[in-house]
Each structure stands twice: as C-alpha cells, then as structure tokens.
Amino acid sequence: MRRFTCPTSTVRVGALGAAVAVVALAAPVAAQTAVQIEADPPSLIVARGASTAFSVRAVDGQGQVVDEPLRVTAPRQGLSLDGTTVTGIEVGEYEIVATTVRPGPGGEPLRLAIPVVVEWPPVVRVEVTSAEPLYAGATTSHAAVALHADGTERPGAEFTWSASDPGRAEVDAFGHVTGRAPGPVRVEAAFEGVIGGLDHVVAAFSGVAISIEGGARGREPVRTGDVQTFRAVVRDAAGAPVVGAPVEWSHRYVPSHGVMAPPAPGQIDGGSFVADVPGEFTVVARSGPLRVERTFEVVPRKVVRSMEVVGRGRQERVYSTDFWVFEGVDGRDYALVGAKQSDGHGFVFDVTDPDNVVKTDSIQVDARSVNDVKVSPDGRYASLTREGASNRRNGVVILDLADPAHPKIAAEYTEGLTGGVHNAFPTDDYLFALSNGDKYVILDVRDIYNPKYVSEYDHPNSRVHDVWVHDGIAYSAEWGTGLVAVDVGNGGWGGAIDDPVLISTYPVPTGATHAAFPYVSESADKLYVFIGDEILTREGMAWEGIGPDFRQKYDPTTGKGGYPRASWGYIQVIDFDDPENPRMVARYEVSEFGTHNIWVEDDILYQAYYEGGMRLVDVSGELMGNLYTQGREISVYKAFDPVGFIPNSPGAWSVMPHKNLVWFADINSGLWAMKFTDRP
C-alpha cells in the first residue's frame, strides 16, 4: 500500500490483484463527517487503450467535500488507474471500488462501486490476404483482419464477403473463393462499415495430374504426435508444375482394432498432419478437379515412464511458492524455497542426499510473501522477490551464496520497485526485476553488494507477470497483451542491455499469459516459446470449484477454508523461428486444471499444473496440435499429503530437473524429489 500526498487531500491506495492510483479530490472544506462517496463521472465507458478523466470524493450530509482518506482500486487485468485518469486495458465490464480508510457513521468503511465498460476502439482498416492465386474451377481460401488505429487486431470479427463479378468468382461466408471464369475480379470483406479487398485475375486451370510427395507411406511406422509434412504437386499436360495451384487438404481415419467411438483422430494444416490416436489414416489432396490420396499407419507413442518419490522437504505450516535447485559453490546441492503466510521467510534446504533433505537455514525479510526465488547460472547469488512489505518499499533482495547453506543478504534494491515485486530473472551479470506488474527494471549485479540501475522496459497499456531471458532477448508474459519479445542485448533489432528495443508481441486466445519459457529444440531445429495461462477461476464451467478461500487452512469455527484451488488454462507453444512473425503451432491442455510455472529441457516439458500435479511431457520433434491427446505424457504425480497446509490437496507451483532427479514445489506440502524407476 502506498501513500501519496495531493495538493488538496490525501488518498491511500493499494490492493492485491488490483490496479491502484490516486484520483483527484475537490478542495475540501472544514472537517465534517463523511456520509457517502461520490464519483465524477458516476460511470465510465472507455475504449481499449484510451484514457478518460475520473475523480472521487467523500462528502458530508450537505454534499460538501470532506477531507477523508480514500482507497481506490480496480481490476488490474482490465483497467489502469493513474492519477486522474482511467485507461482501458481489456474489453469487458468492471468496477472501480472506492472506500474510506476509516469507518463511516455505521461503523463500517463507506464504499462506492463505479461501473466501467471497456469497449473496442473503432476499426479503421480491413486487410484481405490469400496465399494462392485464383484458378477457374478451383477454390482458394482468403483471410481478413480488422485493425484499429493503433494497429491492433479486433479478435472475433465476422466479415461479410463479396466478389465484384459473381460470374468470375463466388465467395462463401468464410472467405473461400471459387474461380468460375477467367478474368479480373475483386474479393472484398466488410466489417462495421469498413471494407478491404484483394484484386485477382482468374486464370484457366491447366493442371492434369496431382501427386503427393514426402511424409509417411504404407507400413512405415509413424507414432501419434509425430508431424508428417506432405507436399502436393500439380502438373500440366507438358509435365511442368502449375505455379500457385491451390490445394485443399483433408484426411479420413479407420480406428485400430477394438477402438470404439474414437475421439477426433488428428488434424491437418496445409500439408502438415499429426495423429492423436493410433489407426489407419489417409490424407487427401485436391486441386480443382484433381484428387490424390496417401494411406499410412499410426502406432501408439509409448513414452510413459514410472517414477517414485525419493525425498521430501516438507512444509506443512506455510504456503510454499517458487523454488530453485542448484549446485552451490561448495559442490553440494541446495534448494531455495519461497513462501506465503510465512512472516517473510524463505527457506534453504541441503538436497545433496535426496533421502535426507535437511533444512539448513531460513531468510527473513520484510514482506508478506516471498513469491519468487531464482539463482544465477554461476551460483554466485540469488534473487528473492517481496510483496507486502510493511513500509511498502518491496523491491528485490539479493542473496550472497558464498556459503549456500547459509545465504546472507547482500543488498536490497527498491528504487523504482516500490510496488510488489512478483518475479525476477537473474543472469550472471544482470537481474531483471518486475515492478508492481507494470514493467521490468534491469539491474547490474556484477557487484551484488552494490546493484546499479541500468534500464527498464514498460510495454504500453500492459501488465507484466513474468520474464525469461535467452540469447539477449527478454520474453515477458503480459496477461492480455500476450507474449512480448524485447531485444536486451541480442543486437539483431538494435537493442542493448541499456537500451531495450521491442521486437514483437503475440496475443493468445485466453488473454491470461502468465509465464514464458524459450526453448531451442534441436530435434525440431526450431526455437519454441512455451507460454502458460493462469486463470484462477472456472466460472461458467460445469465444475467451477469451491470459492476464493483456497489459501486458508480449515477454520473449525467458521467452517471455511481448506479447499483445493480451482484453476483453468493451458500451455501454448509458439514457433519463434521468425521473431517478427511468431505463430502458435501446438498446445498442452489438460481439462479441469490450470497451469503454473514451466521448465523445458532435453525435449521434456516439466509442467506445474496446480491441482493437476507435476506433469512431464515429451516435446521431441516438431510440435502440432494438443500434446495431451497425442499420448506425449511421460509421467504425472499429484502430491497428496495428509498433514499438508491444506491436507491431501495437490497444488504444483514449479517443476525443474536437477542431476537425474525431478524436483517440484507443492503449494500445500513443500518440496518433493522424484526419480525414474525404469529406462526410457
């Protein structure tokens, strides 16, 4: 909670999970008793990305302004409050809530809810594209995007399609255009009165033969989840390829013996195909009147492996958060574990012998939550983030790991980090620390006892939750904005550690981008970025969960608390080979559970899936479709502990491998060590 001083009055603001700001008050009169709160205006409509003026005030029974401290909050995922303005972040309906700090006449603080509607800004441009030319007798797909003035895309826009000459081309409601006769034609898409188009010249179709090249064939073994790339070649009467001939792909499926009522068996995108279930598959390519097929067999992936628990660092009296396992400079192995509801404590474990995990020390700081702990690659220092400091100067704490069993505080850095610091990312020389969910600040930590400000990056109208740095590029997870890639020293886009430069952004369908992990896949020869949702609600679903008291122990007096959390969301896999044009290619979605922190190493996704437990997933080779339905899961373990913070309630927060073991932190039961009990 921060206190600001206004020329006319004081407003105290601050709330977990809320956008907070001071709003202007009218000049107060002599002290009276406040009886209500008023807002100007009493309700708001604002476009996404736009700002509007706003103020609140406490008044007495005669309507006179009273010098009364107010707390003003708003949902940070939808609104940003800054001084006397409100900025729309995400489209939706929200409330700004103003309350008095002190009790009102009835003994309770006065409260006012101000409704806010965030609308889409007007569309100013429609762009129509097609990857192929138009041929008579053939169908070509078209795509359209509706763009706002700032270049952002309107999601879910439904277009009205038309062709300038129906005798030359016909277009359906989805932008599929079929050529009818040679000659010029314009294909147009309209949305909210804005029209865009693409000019074609319909050509005579000269193809007489079509063939399929590449990919699987016959009894050649193909596993579920293995992407097959087919290419269709159309040739004319002289045997020459028909350049740009449009090709439509489809597939059909015959189940394996004994499979009844099979699920969706697979998917095909262009010439790329992936099977979710075993069986006999046939891919079909069509171009105009031509058609060709290829049949092949798909077998089960068979990657499941057995695991067993080999060690515990039990934490049943606190709510465990992030952790990091590392080899200390003394050659022994350690784990740092953060916690909530722990009076500002983080914990140190010697995990060299996983059968005998020993808590060696604890570090107490001024904080309500020690949310994130990470260790530099060289093991020289650790970062520990703080939220809820008593003086509201949270910042980041830097630990000296010269004696890793007993770390000591080297420095606390708070300048520009006075809001809650939820996450940080250490490299050997620099530390990236999040500031109140608004930006990340880059610190020079070559001297950990004297950290120095270097630069910062604040993406406009965006809330940041996490950042991960690889090869001089910072990949930040920014809720509704999605994935944001910034050059912080790579240099390919002109950026440097002291001059960050935006490369690109990639919004995702769920609008809840929580974590990002870049991974160079040698088996696929690609750079993938795994990004995860965090949606701590299942509202509107058949299983909505219990409620908001999931972090509280059971209270026998009130009968509340002690519930497992209910979450939703999934991992989205982005092909980042071209950082300026990223594209989503795959996902890992387990229904009824929601994701948390991510780690990928040696073609295994180590995924913390909250109440879905610790989940290991095979991510070898090219990725496409839903990895969950393809039999790519290697192992799943849910931490049931009868004496946990909330008994027998799994809640995996983070997972990471270390020296042939898999470690994970569970919210309700602390640290777990697992090992494989069979060969790959």
Q: CA 71, 440, 444 angle in degrees (round to 5)? A: 130
Residue partners of 20: CB distance under 8 A and separation at least 6: 2, 13, 14, 72, 73, 74, 81
Residue partners of 9: CB distance under 8 A and separation at least 6: 25, 28, 67, 68, 69
Residue 611: inside a domain = no
Distances (CA, A) of 83 to 20, 137, 196, 200, 392: 9, 61, 40, 52, 19
What is the β-pairing status of strands 583-588 and 625-626?
Answer: parallel
Percent of the chain with pLDDT over 90: 69
- Asked which of 187, 202, 217 is the last residue of a domain, the reply is 202
Q: How many CB atoms lie within 10 A of CB 151?
A: 8
| pLDDT given for residue 555 in this prediction | 74
- CA–CA gap between residue 635 and residue 615 (Å, rounded): 6
Task: Indicate the length of the chain as a whole number.
Answer: 680
Segment 374-380 shows an average pLDDT of 96
SS3 content of the chain, % helix, strand, coil (to 5): 0, 50, 45
5-19, 135-149, 154-168, 534-548, range with the lowest pLDDT: 5-19
Residue 19: inside a domain = yes
7-21, 95-109, 168-182, range with the lowest pLDDT: 7-21
Residue 47: inside a domain = yes
CATH number of domain containing 156 = 2.60.40.1080
Q: Burial letters for 29-44: b for 16+ Cβ neighbours within 10 Å, e otherwise?
A: eeebebbbbbbeeeeb
* Of 283, 248, 252, 241, the residue nearest 177 (C-alpha): 248
Segment 470-475 shows an average pLDDT of 97
Q: How many domains does the chain have?
A: 3
- Are residues 13 and 107 located together in one domain of the fold? yes
| pLDDT given for residue 412 in this prediction | 93
pLDDT at 107 over 90: no
Q: How many CB atoms lie within 10 A of CB 104?
A: 18
Distances (CA, A) of 665 to 141, 174, 490, 670: 48, 47, 33, 5
Query: 10: pLDDT confidence band, cut at 50, 70 and 90?
Result: very low
Assess contact for 297 and 222: CB atoms under 8 A. Answer: yes
- CA–CA gap between residue 413 and residue 436 (Å, rounded): 14
Assess contact for 118 and 92: CB atoms under 8 A. Answer: yes
**Partner residues linked to 364 by β-bridges:** 345
| pLDDT given for residue 548 in this prediction | 56
- Are residues 149 and 91 located together in one domain of the fold? no
Strands in 120-230 per DSSP E: 123-129, 139-141, 143-148, 160-163, 169-171, 176-179, 183-191, 194-202, 209-213, 218-223, 228-229
Query: 283: pLDDT confidence band, cut at 50, 70 and 90?
Result: very high
pLDDT at 3 over 50: no
Residue partners of 61: CB distance under 8 A and separation at least 6: 32, 33, 35
Residue 397: inside a domain = no
pLDDT at 185 over 70: yes
| pLDDT given for residue 2 in this prediction | 30
- pLDDT tens digit sequence for 549-585: 556 777 777 767 777 778 899 999 999 999 999 999 9
The owner of tokens 């992407």 is 227
- Are residues 90 and 146 located together in one domain of the fold? no
434-438, 446-450, 476-480, range with the lowest pLDDT: 434-438
Strands in 589-644 per DSSP E: 598-601, 604-608, 614-618, 625-626, 633-637
Assess contact for 90 and 513: CB atoms under 8 A. Answer: no
The owner of tokens 């940070």 is 76
- Are residues 115 and 129 located together in one domain of the fold? no
| pLDDT given for residue 547 in this prediction | 60
- Asked which of 119, 147, 165 is the last residue of a domain, the reply is 119
**Partner residues linked to 345 by β-bridges:** 364
- CA–CA gap between residue 224 and residue 222 (Å, rounded): 7
Segment 48-71 shows an average pLDDT of 91
- CA–CA gap between residue 442 and residue 424 (Å, rounded): 10
Residue 91: inside a domain = yes
- Are residues 233 and 152 located together in one domain of the fold? no
- Are residues 247 and 160 located together in one domain of the fold? no
- Are residues 53 and 100 located together in one domain of the fold? yes
Residue 561: inside a domain = no
- Are residues 6 and 111 located together in one domain of the fold? yes
Percent of the chain with pLDDT over 70: 94
- CA–CA gap between residue 408 and residue 123 (Å, rounded): 55
- pLDDT tens digit sequence for 591-645: 889 999 999 999 999 999 999 999 999 999 999 999 999 999 999 999 999 988 8
- Are residues 88 and 140 located together in one domain of the fold? no
**Greater pLDDT, 419 or 588:** 588
Query: 485: pLDDT confidence band, cut at 50, 70 and 90?
Result: very high
End-to-end alpha carbon distance in the chain: 51
The 8-class DSSP code of residue 494 comes to S
Residue 128: inside a domain = yes
- Are residues 96 and 139 located together in one domain of the fold? no
What is the residue-averaged pLDDT of the chain?
89
**Greater pLDDT, 604 or 108:** 604
| pLDDT given for residue 19 in this prediction | 46
Residue 100: inside a domain = yes
| pLDDT given for residue 27 in this prediction | 45
**Greater pLDDT, 430 or 463:** 430
Residue 240 domain boundaries: 209-299
- Are residues 262 and 232 located together in one domain of the fold? yes
CATH number of domain containing 230 = 2.60.40.10
Cis peptide before 262 (omega within 30 of 0): no
pLDDT at 23 over 60: no
| pLDDT given for residue 16 in this prediction | 34
| pLDDT given for residue 549 in this prediction | 56
| pLDDT given for residue 38 in this prediction | 94
**Greater pLDDT, 421 or 309:** 309
| pLDDT given for residue 367 in this prediction | 78
**Partner residues linked to 455 by β-bridges:** 442
What is the β-pairing status of strands 44-47 and 109-119?
Answer: parallel
128-132, 508-512, 552-556, range with the lowest pLDDT: 552-556
- pLDDT tens digit sequence for 337-370: 998 877 888 999 999 999 999 999 999 988 788 8
- Asked which of 255, 275, 299 is the last residue of a domain, the reply is 299
Q: What is the 3-state secondary structure (H, E, C) of 82-105?
A: ECCEEEECCCEEEEEEEEEEEECC
* Of 246, 228, 233, 247, the residue nearest 285 (C-alpha): 247
pLDDT at 418 over 80: no
Assess contact for 469 and 377: CB atoms under 8 A. Answer: no
- Are residues 71 and 110 located together in one domain of the fold? yes
* Of 403, 394, 348, 330, the residue nearest 368 (C-alpha): 394
Distances (CA, A) of 329 to 204, 400, 436: 72, 11, 32
Tell me how far the alpha carbon of residue 660 is from its chain's centroid.
Answer: 28
